[in-house]
Chains A and B, each alone.
Chain A
Amino acid sequence: GENVEQHPSTLSVQEGDSAVIKCTYSDSASNYFPWYKQELGKGPQLIIDIRSNVGEKKDQRIAVTLNKTAKHFSLHITETQPEDSAVYFCAAEARDDKIIFGKGTRLHILP
């Protein structure tokens, strides 16, 4: 079945700098890759997603890239702000339409 690996597990960046989180997946049939942000005490929030028919998608300060050949995708956050501090999960849709999550990245934005 699908397996999603996510790195790093923890990431600290200075406010204003960029943050990059990387994920790999195992099933070449996967074609939908969402990213979730989870703040303390809340449920995961879908922040951006990408489908296999595009290589990059951008929404204001966040962007996601997808390399289907290499089976990896990344989240890029530019001009980081304190409110970006959270746990971020990448995910991939498996053949049976279920979502398989990575283990998460705890992002700390340093003042």
Chain B
Amino acid sequence: SAVISQKPSRDICQRGTSLTIQCQVDSQVTMMFWYRQQPGQSLTLIATANQGSEATYESGFVIDKFPISRPNLTFSTLTVSNMSPEDSSIYLCSVDRAGAGEQYFGPGTRLTVT
């Protein structure tokens, strides 16, 4: 498995502002992922963030709204830009250490936009 931490754990933000979420892993990993989980819903993949390449975004998610950085093999950030109440969700990062499909998740960041 992997030990994954996220900051902040929760935040309340005003519409129109931006929030950057940090994801720190206890060991080097190639594959990192960012998910969104709306209240009471399943997980939706936002993007894949592999070190050394640009993030790959899923349909419905764009870089201008969710810019991602992956400066090294243990860290990544996701920014939620120009927020609206519809962005209120839990944002989760995950890693696949062995490249075998086993993903391990961080504790999530609970975002409320007012």
Contact = CB atoms under 8 A, between A and B. Distances in A.
A61 interface: no
B43 A44 contact: yes
B105 interface: yes
Interface residues of B, number: 19
Size category of the A interface is 10 to 19
B53 interface: no
A101 interface: yes
A45 interface: yes
Interface stretch (B60-68, B79-87, B96-104): B96-104
B48 interface: yes
Interface string B92-114: 10100000111111111010000
Contacts of B101: 32, 34, 49, 93, 97, 99
Given A89-B42, A101-B43, A103-B41, A43 B103 contact: no
A29 interface: no
A76 to B, nearest CB: 20
A102 B42 contact: yes
A46 interface: yes
A44 B43 CA distance: 9
A44 B105 contact: yes
Contact of B108 (A43, A102, A103, A104): A43
A49 to B, nearest CB: 7
Interface string B41-77: 1110100100000000000000000000000000000
11 contacts: A43-B105, A44-B92, A46-B1, A46-B104, A89-B42, A89-B43, A99-B103, A101-B42, A101-B43, A102-B42, A103-B41
Which 3 A-B residue pairs are closest in the complex by CB-CB distance?
A43-B105, A32-B101, A93-B101
Interface of B: 1, 4, 41-43, 45, 48, 92, 94, 100-108, 110
